[in-house]
Chain A
Amino acid sequence: MSTTLLDPTSELQPATRQLNDRLSSLVGATVGLLDISKPRGKEFLDEVEKQLTALGATVKRYSKPTFTRVAPTELSQRISVECDAVIEGLAD
């Protein structure tokens, strides 16, 4: 079952949520790396961090308590405040 709602907007935007604009440059940007706490995530993200740093980005590392649940609100909020972009390590 579902509820039907009528779109109150001008419909100039798609109904689905939009992605943020892509960063034009990584130089000086703060990029968050979110480890979802799957095995070997750390090794993989270490390598990603190395490459991002080489491209001029500042990297901040975060991790979720468990990959089985969505990130705690507090963590999402922290990332949104501290970072310009975030890369989430998804699954294996």
Chain B
Amino acid sequence: MNSSSESQFALVLKKDCATCRLIEPVARELAEQLRDSLRIYVQDDPSFPESIAGKVDDTQLEFSFHNDIEVVPTLIRFCAGKESERIFGWDRKQWQDFMQMPGLGNELPDFRPGCGSKSRDPGMEDMLAVKFGGARQAARQLEIDDSEDVMEACYERGWTDGLPVTPPTPVRVARMLAASDRTADEIIGNIPPDYAPCSIEKAAINAVMAGCKPEYFPVVLAALEGALQEPFCWHGLLCTTYFSSPVVIVSGPVSKRIGMNSGINALGQGNRANATIGRSLQLIIQNIGGGRPGGIDRATLGNPGKYSFCFAEDESDEQWPSLAMDRGYTRADSVVSLFAGSGIQPVMDQQSRNPESLARSLAASLRTVSHAKVFMQTDALLVLSPEHRRVFRQGGWNKAEVKAAIYEALRTPGEELVRGAGGIAEGLPEQFKDRTLDKFRADGLHIASAGGTAGLFSAIIAGWVASGEKGSQLVSQAMV
């Protein structure tokens, strides 16, 4: 016993563990020998072991958490208040050496593995970190009495978009924050229209409410940083009477890693990542930015994408560059792009078997973006389905050639577009009468790929009428 007599010991047990029950005689002998120098902590049933008096109730797992207990039984030696050594499980020789007690547990088997500590049960670590770890959450805490329905409490405080939200409890928020390397109090930017500072923690709270899994959170942060890029003009986009709102397009390896949908029904419902990443952005501008429909959000009609509009690119065709690659990134980069979009306009072309016909066909539909007579004002994002993409690929066209053909097919004499032409008052000012005009500004038509492998359909996502430098431009944000 010599040097041991100056040490303090802690033994952590769990009744549910067969090895802990097996070593009860050893624990008893240690308790008798060490007396006040040993404290026995019990994780599940403080009456265990019944033959030993003076156990410490650790059912709250505070000691286990602070001492990082992974396995029970664990025996720790403290010298001068600091841990000097620990052993776990049951290994008779090891315990005898550790305690310098040669006869200790001689009646027991040589070896039995321990069991997992309760403090390491699935999900428990995050809860304990919030409870005991001083996980510094700066957000105001609201206590919702049990007599109140928590879901309804979120509605009543105006935190939702009309659909239920996941209540942002401290544990859920801690789990979300743990999925990012960034510190909770870092300010990611000021959110319009109130330009209220948004910490990583506030973003995490809203991502929880949107229904995100923690692994989506880095994508949410990239989307948020993209939305805050000056050329995206998130403020104006929120305030406009027009339909538009952010469309989030995720390219690169991250989309597969987190299970996003780029295939069947890619622009529709059903995929958690698609649905909740887009929704996070909308909840952030509503809750942090103060951009509420009917308040600063003055949309005449809005569009269903204002709940959420987010999809992954189909990158199954290695030869076809992704939207992110069009913006200068590589296939290996995970990139979030944002486009100010106004819902979906379908294009059906089941007859075109060559690129020339299909390009003209797509152009004919693109002509109506915002208005058939309004040119150079509204960008568009064309989402090519795999079957339409195949027509171009089999015809030997690359993306640049597709774009060029669409621009060519849309080039129109100004006299057909000016106000009054065709008996339609809407149109371009008279000054454009003698010019030939492109439908889209030079960087105003973007092409992404998504969709199921059956269906000769593509989608036009019309942009905001305030496109370009005076309004919103497509932005891309690489994930770090």
A: residues with CB less than 8 A from B are 1-12, 15, 17
Contact = CB atoms under 8 A, between A and B. Distances in A.
Closest A-B pairs by Cβ, 9 of them:
A10-B196, A7-B140, A6-B139, A8-B205, A2-B143, A8-B287, A3-B144, A1-B146, A9-B287
Contacts of B266: none
B170 A4 contact: yes
Nearest to B209: A8
A10 B288 contact: yes
B319 interface: no
B150 interface: yes
B141 A8 contact: no
B202 interface: yes
Contact of B169 (A1, A6, A7): A6
Nearest to B156: A17
Interface of A is mostly: loop
A84 B141 CA distance: 33
Given A2-B145, A5-B144, A12 B137 contact: no
Q: Give the interface size bracket for B toward A.
A: 35 or more
A9 B191 CA distance: 11
B206 interface: yes
Interface string B280-323: 00010001111000000000000000000000000000000000
B288 A7 contact: no
A12 B289 CA distance: 10
Contacts, number: 74
Nearest to A5: B142
A59 to B, nearest CB: 28
Interface string B161-205: 000000111100100000000000000000100101110011001
B290 A10 contact: yes
A10 B158 CA distance: 13
A5 B290 contact: no
A11 B139 contact: yes
A8 B160 CA distance: 10
Contacts of A7: 139-142, 205
A17 B173 CA distance: 24
A9 B142 CA distance: 12
A2 B146 contact: yes
A6 B168 contact: yes
Contact of B142 (A10, A12, A15): A15
A8 B144 CA distance: 14
A1 B143 CA distance: 9
B153 interface: yes
A2 B144 contact: yes
Contacts of A15: 140, 142
B238 to A, nearest CB: 14
Nearest to B140: A7
Residue of B137, B140, B169 with highest tally of chain A CB at under 10 A: B140
A4 B140 CA distance: 10
B209 A3 contact: no
A7 B146 CA distance: 18
Contacts of A5: 141-142, 144, 150, 153-154, 167-169
A9 B159 contact: yes
Given A5-B154, A6-B168, A10-B289, 18 more contacts: A1-B146, A2-B143, A2-B144, A3-B143, A3-B167, A5-B153, A5-B167, A5-B168, A5-B169, A6-B141, A6-B173, A6-B205, A7-B205, A8-B209, A8-B283, A10-B194, A10-B290, A17-B156
B287 A4 contact: no
30 contacts: A2-B143, A3-B143, A4-B142, A4-B143, A4-B169, A5-B141, A5-B153, A5-B169, A6-B141, A6-B168, A6-B169, A6-B170, A6-B201, A6-B205, A8-B139, A8-B159, A8-B206, A9-B287, A10-B191, A10-B196, A10-B202, A10-B287, A10-B288, A10-B289, A10-B290, A11-B139, A12-B194, A12-B196, A15-B140, A17-B156
Residue of A7, A8, A10 with highest tally of chain B CB at under 10 A: A8
Nearest to B172: A6
B449 to A, nearest CB: 34
B19 to A, nearest CB: 35
A74 to B, nearest CB: 18
Given A3-B146, A5-B150, A5-B153, A11 B140 contact: yes
A23 to B, nearest CB: 20
A63 B72 CA distance: 66
A6 B146 contact: no
A3 B140 contact: no
